[in-house]
Chains A and B, each alone.
Chain A
Amino acid sequence: MLVEIDNLRISFATPNGISEAVRGVSLTLGQEKLGVVGESGSGKSLTARAILKLLPGGAMMSADRLSFDGIDVLAASEREMRGIRGRRAGLILQDPKYSLNPVMPVGRQIAEAWRLHKGRAASRRNAEQAAIDLLDQVRIRNPARVARAYPHELSGGMGQRVMIAMMLAPDPELLIADEPTSALDATVQAEILRLIEDLVARRGMGLILISHDLPLISHFCDRVMVMYAGRVLERLPAGELARARHAYTRGLLDCLPSLIHPRERLATLARDPAWLTA
């Protein structure tokens, strides 16, 4: 197993006492595509970031087991974690604008990531060529020109492709994509997701796709995990989303406006307090 999580808990100290953001989440991931769905505050991003030990300051984390490819993440030193982050597990965030260095051409940023992981033996020229190859792999039409561009000169979709190229540079085994397409147009969104899907299949990576968009997740993943208030409420094969049983999952599906099945009034979610403890 690539990732094994058992009874993960993450909490924060607040002026009003301890607030638990993740409450006993367990999951395993192999070479497959796992979708994690939930509303803001459901703990979906924290759960994924815990694998990389990239939690906000002040977060307290505990788990019966939290391992990445057999490595005990809880016991791992910062030094060991740096060997995993970026190198063996990549993280793609929602907005490439905040993840790229604004004052460095994107080609150099990708080359830097590539050299960092290939060791000092890699020459600057090789790295530059590798960056252009990677840009080509994420289907950028004129990779040499884009490599010389600065982040602000790129569109949102192009910036996200650059981020993906950068994450692929070290040939990771796991890709965590946190709302990778929420800031993009529908046509671009579909292209980026197909690209991720294709790369994951071709390179035999594991993928954790985090989104608030249930239909999107079920379209691109093998399995779906639905989170609410820091717990997993339902797990199901992506293709069987229409047969979801939990009232929360059903509620999320029912409140979407639909193009094909119009409704006079949208259903709203009646939150059952029992979901917090179920």
Chain B
Amino acid sequence: MIEVEDLHVRFAETHAVKGVSFSVPQGGSFGIVGESGSGKSTVLRVISGLNPNWSGRIAIGGDEVGPKRSKSFFRRVQMVFQDPYGSLHPRQTADRALSEPLLVHGIGDIEGRILRALGEVALPESVRFRYPHQLSGGQRQRLAIARALMAEPEVLLLDEPTSALDVSIQAEVLNLLADLQQRRGLTYMLVSHNLAVVAHLCPLVGVMQHGEMVEQITTAELRAGRTCHPHTAELRALSVELEDPEEALGGVE
């Protein structure tokens, strides 16, 4: 569904992404982990069309895309950001946020679709005419996900979708994302600094460091500790150490 080949991104003097290639099958999930400045979010922004300065090859569903995207592209690909407070218009109600994608793409049955969308992300109908500041953090992120799904995209790009949430709310949002994927056959790309979150949702993980994808590893290999690159091993060790100090000391296998 998503094919990326030899992607390079340069900002002024910085070479932010240095020849990254990967592909994501339809209905699959691909995760990217890395630290700040590793280029993981830049890759996602390039695919979403938010960053036009890149070279390489990107294809979505077999169609190659250029720096400028067509309207039909944004029907197929949608993005969800870390902070829904920043991505939702503060003076638009949930109703307005949800109806706008429908108006842009000329989709009918607005009333019915909004009610179904709220139901699908488990938001009560009472939030429909509320503003973002009247919602809790978890509700805002559900609204952002509902909005991204309004135009019935095939691909959802998720940039740290749960990093700003409490762990109990994070679990609810991750479960919701898993349900939506199963129900709609969505293709996911998930970027996060949290290895456990990425591994939970994605069977394949790309590890980025200094603009390079240093390793692509299946979640099963990652869990078992069969890493190839030292940076992957380091990120894994830090994650395991916090989870289970005894296991980290004993080593795995």
CB of A268 within 8 A of CB of B175, answer yes
Selected contact of B242 from candidates A219, A262, A265, A266, CB within 8 Å: A219
**Residue with the greatest number of chain B CB neighbours at <10 A, chosen from A39, A252, A256:** A256
A213 to B195, CA, bound (A): 15
A123 to B170, CA, bound (A): 51
Interface 1/0 per residue, B223-253 and A, CB below 8 Å: 1000000000011101111111101000010
A267 to B223, CA, bound (A): 20
CB of A219 within 8 A of CB of B245, answer yes
**Residue with the greatest number of chain B CB neighbours at <10 A, chosen from A185, A186, A188, A252:** A186
A268 proximity list for chain B (CB < 8 A)? 168, 171-172, 175
A186 to B196, CA, bound (A): 12
User: Closest approach, in angstroms, between the C-beta of A276 and any C-beta of chain B?
Assistant: 16
B245 proximity list for chain A (CB < 8 A)? 219
B223 proximity list for chain A (CB < 8 A)? 259-260, 262
Q: A40-B166, A268-B172 are in contact. Are A259 and B239 (CB under 8 A)?
A: yes
241-268 of chain A: CB within 8 A of chain B: 251-252, 255-260, 262-263, 265-268
A186 proximity list for chain B (CB < 8 A)? 35, 193, 195, 235, 238-239
Which size bracket describes the interface of A in this complex?
20 to 34
**Residue with the greatest number of chain B CB neighbours at <10 A, chosen from A212, A257, A266:** A257
A266 proximity list for chain B (CB < 8 A)? 171, 174-175, 200
CB of B166 within 8 A of CB of A257, answer no
CB of A39 within 8 A of CB of B193, answer no
User: Closest approach, in angstroms, between the C-beta of A77 and any C-beta of chain B?
Assistant: 37
Chain B: which residue is nearest A239 at the CB level?
Answer: B245
A255 to B195, CA, bound (A): 15
CB of A255 within 8 A of CB of B167, answer yes
B196 proximity list for chain A (CB < 8 A)? 256-259
B241 proximity list for chain A (CB < 8 A)? 190, 219
**Residue with the greatest number of chain A CB neighbours at <10 A, chosen from B36, B168, B172:** B168
Which size bracket describes the interface of B in this complex?
35 or more
User: Closest approach, in angstroms, between the C-beta of A187 and any C-beta of chain B?
Assistant: 6
A40 proximity list for chain B (CB < 8 A)? 137, 166
CB of B171 within 8 A of CB of A185, answer no
Asked if B222 CB lies within 8 Å of chain A CBs, one says: yes
Q: A156-B36, A259-B199 are in contact. Are A187 and B167 (CB under 8 A)?
A: no
A263 proximity list for chain B (CB < 8 A)? 200
Asked if A172 CB lies within 8 Å of chain B CBs, one says: no
A190 proximity list for chain B (CB < 8 A)? 238, 241
A40 to B171, CA, bound (A): 15
Asked if B197 CB lies within 8 Å of chain A CBs, one says: yes
A60 proximity list for chain B (CB < 8 A)? none
A256 proximity list for chain B (CB < 8 A)? 167, 171, 196, 243
A187 to B234, CA, bound (A): 8
Interface of A is mostly: loop
CB of B200 within 8 A of CB of A257, answer yes
Asked if A269 CB lies within 8 Å of chain B CBs, one says: yes
A125 to B171, CA, bound (A): 53
Selected contact of A187 from candidates B172, B200, B238, CB within 8 Å: B238
Asked if A215 CB lies within 8 Å of chain B CBs, one says: yes
B174 proximity list for chain A (CB < 8 A)? 257, 266
User: Closest approach, in angstroms, between the C-beta of B95 and any C-beta of chain A?
Assistant: 25
A40 to B239, CA, bound (A): 23
Chain B: which residue is nearest A270 at the CB level?
Answer: B168
Asked if B24 CB lies within 8 Å of chain A CBs, one says: no
User: Closest approach, in angstroms, between the C-beta of A46 and any C-beta of chain B?
Assistant: 17
Interface 1/0 per residue, B9-39 and A, CB below 8 Å: 0000000000000000000000000011000
Asked if A104 CB lies within 8 Å of chain B CBs, one says: no
Asked if A1 CB lies within 8 Å of chain B CBs, one says: no
Asked if B178 CB lies within 8 Å of chain A CBs, one says: yes
User: Closest approach, in angstroms, between the C-beta of A130 and any C-beta of chain B?
Assistant: 31
A112 to B219, CA, bound (A): 50
CB of B240 within 8 A of CB of A259, answer yes
Q: A39-B166, A185-B36, A216-B242 are in contact. Are A260 and B171 (CB under 8 A)?
A: no
A257 proximity list for chain B (CB < 8 A)? 171, 174, 194, 196-197, 199-200
CB of A269 within 8 A of CB of B168, answer yes
Q: A259-B195, A260-B244 are in contact. Are A251 and B168 (CB under 8 A)?
A: yes
Chain B: which residue is nearest A220 at the CB level?
Answer: B242
A186 to B219, CA, bound (A): 19
What 6 A-B pairs come out closest when comparing CB atoms?
A: A255-B171, A257-B200, A185-B35, A266-B171, A269-B168, A39-B166
**Can you offer 30 A-B residue contacts whose CB atoms are under 8 A?**
A156-B36, A185-B35, A185-B36, A186-B193, A186-B235, A188-B35, A190-B241, A212-B166, A212-B167, A219-B241, A219-B242, A252-B167, A252-B168, A256-B171, A257-B174, A257-B194, A259-B239, A259-B243, A260-B223, A260-B243, A260-B244, A262-B199, A262-B223, A266-B171, A266-B174, A266-B200, A268-B168, A268-B175, A269-B168, A269-B171
